[in-house]
Each structure stands twice: as structure tokens, then as C-alpha cells.
């Protein structure tokens, strides 16, 4: 699909030849025929009935999702690359080492970008849970759409991660930035509130069973390290743990 989307109007022989490093000619033509039968590709035929070119079916939901993700990914990568290049205070280059407050400032700076990414993910979540259940009646097509959507979200997040890592951000700062996208609530309080609300409408037992089985996020303490250059070596001069109640415990 990726190749046909980027090179519309090519013959099956040309497509099969271009993809020979990934698959055999026989497999490539088999995929083209199957995608044409599913309505993902339009197979244009000559007067003698032979297929002579393929183009993506713009109205097919699989093609739409693929096209949207293909267009959004480079735009999102360019956005976060530009934002990372504008950071003036590169604290990771200083001998004092990692400063948590600087990471919080970065988190605030990148917040609108991560909100945009979250909107992209929520948009597909709505489609998957509401729109596609009514608009896409074929179960196999829906399954493929779900896989496409998840893959697109993961691929774009990985592209963002790569841009920030290339800019020089350390593992802890990246974890803080990405963790802030999804971890902005107190899960314990939220689940307790939901339990009370469901109890009021007569769903106490069922609510308790469901809440008990909700996947729990693994909580890792945030460790803050400060280093100092001593001659040609880097020496750890302080190590602290940021606790869940925002207090700090000195470890070293």
C-alpha cells in the first residue's frame, strides 16, 4: 500500500520489480490482487482485460487512515525537531548534571506539542470505538483499521522520541516528557471517584470487579542525579529521589 500510495498509476510488473528486495514477484502480484478485491486499490484494466495500473482507493477507510498517518508523521517530526533546536539552555552539557527543575521547564515548553499528539491518538480512539463500529461492517477490515491506527500512533511517538534523543536529551528527561502525556491524573483518586459514582446507580459489585482488574501503571520513582567533572572523569556528587508527594529524599 505504501508503494502504490507514493507511486500511483504503475503497472503490476513495475511494482513487483520495485519491491523485489522485500518479496518475490509472485507474492507482490498476489497482494495487489487481494488489495484490489478488498477495494483498497483500484485496478485499471486495458481493453483486453489485463490489469495495467493500480492506484489507491481514496474512499476506502484503510487508505484514509494510511494517508492521514503518512502526512501527519513528517509534519509532527518537523514540529518537534524545530522545537528541540530552539532550546537555548542545554543543561545536559553542564558539569552540574541533571537538574529536575530544568526538565519541568522543558515539559512545560513541549506541553502544546504533546497535547497535539494526544489529540491525534484520541481522534483514532474515537473512530475505533464509535465510527468504525457503524461505518465499517466488515470485521476483517475493522481489525486491520485497529492495527493501522495503533501502529500509526506508536510510529509517530517513536519518531518524536528519536528527534528529541538526537537533540541530546537523556533518558530521564524523555521519560518525563512522554510520561506527562498520559500520566496527568491521580489514578487512585480517579478510580475511587468512579467506584462511588457507579455505586450510586446500583453497580457496586460489577464496578468493584472491573476496577479491581484495571491495569495498574508501574510507578517508578524519579531519580535525580547531579554530576561534576573531576579532571577527565565525571563524579556523582548528589543523588535524590522525587517522591510521589513531591518531597525529595537524598540518596547520596
The tens digit of pLDDT for each residue in 129-185 reads 998 888 888 888 889 889 989 999 999 999 998 988 888 777 777 777 777 777 666
Domain ranges in the chain are 2-56, 58-184
Asked if 172 and 227 touch (Cβ cutoff 8 Å), the reply is no
Asked if 161 and 174 touch (Cβ cutoff 8 Å), the reply is yes
Taking only the tens place, the pLDDT of each residue in 13-60 is 889 899 988 899 899 888 888 888 877 888 887 777 666 788 888 777
CB neighbour class for 59 (10 Å; exposed up to 12, middle 13-18, buried from 19)? exposed
Q: What is the model's pLDDT at position 94? A: 52
Taking only the tens place, the pLDDT of each residue in 182-205 is 766 677 788 899 999 999 999 999
Asked if 243 and 249 touch (Cβ cutoff 8 Å), the reply is yes
Across 112-129, average pLDDT: 91
Fold of 2-56: Arc Repressor Mutant, subunit A (1.10.10)
Letter string b/e over residues 104-131, b meaning 16 or more CB atoms within 10 A of that residue's CB = eebbeebeebbeebeebbeebeebbeee
Q: What is the DSSP letter of 93?
A: G
pLDDT category of residue 122 using cuts at 50, 70 and 90: very high
pLDDT category of residue 209 using cuts at 50, 70 and 90: very high
Q: What is the model's pLDDT at position 234? A: 59
Half-sphere exposure in the Cβ direction for 131 (13 Å, CA)? 11
Across 209-237, average pLDDT: 69
Q: What is the model's pLDDT at position 193? A: 92
Amino acid at each position: 500500500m505504501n508503494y502504490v500510495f507514493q507511486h500511483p498509476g504503475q503497472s503490476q510488473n513495475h511494482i513487483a520489480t520495485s519491491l523485489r528486495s522485500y518479496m518475490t514477484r509472485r507474492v507482490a502480484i498476489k497482494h495487489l490482487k487481494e488489495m484490489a478485491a478488498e477495494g483498497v486499490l483500484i485496478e485499471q484494466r486495458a481493453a483486453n482485460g489485463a490489469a495495467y495500473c493500480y492506484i489507491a482507493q481514496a474512499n476506502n477507510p484503510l487508505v484514509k487512515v494510511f494517508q492521514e498517518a503518512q502526512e501527519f508523521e513528517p509534519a509532527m517530526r518537523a514540529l518537534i525537531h524545530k522545537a528541540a533546536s530552539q532550546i537555548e539552555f542545554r543543561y545536559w552539557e553542564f558539569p552540574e548534571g541533571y537538574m529536575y527543575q530544568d526538565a519541568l521547564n522543558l515539559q512545560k515548553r513541549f506541553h502544546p506539542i504533546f497535547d497535539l499528539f494526544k489529540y491525534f491518538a484520541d481522534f483514532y480512539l474515537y473512530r475505533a470505538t464509535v465510527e468504525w463500529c457503524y461505518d465499517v461492517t466488515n470485521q476483517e477490515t475493522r481489525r486491520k483499521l485497529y492495527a493501522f491506527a495503533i501502529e500509526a500512533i506508536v510510529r509517530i511517538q517513536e519518531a518524536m522520541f528519536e528527534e528529541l534523543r538526537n537533540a541530546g536529551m537523556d533518558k530521564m528527561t524523555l521519560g518525563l516528557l512522554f510520561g506527562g502525556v498520559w500520566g496527568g491524573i491521580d489514578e487512585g483518586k480517579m478510580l475511587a471517584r468512579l467506584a462511588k459514582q457507579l455505586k450510586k446507580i446500583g453497580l457496586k459489585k460489577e464496578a468493584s470487579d472491573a476496577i479491581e482488574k484495571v491495569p495498574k501503571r508501574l510507578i517508578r520513582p524519579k531519580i535525580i542525579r547531579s554530576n561534576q567533572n573531576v579532571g577527565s572523569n565525571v563524579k556523582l556528587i548528589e543523588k535524590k529521589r522525587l517522591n510521589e508527594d513531591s518531597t525529595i529524599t537524598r540518596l547520596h
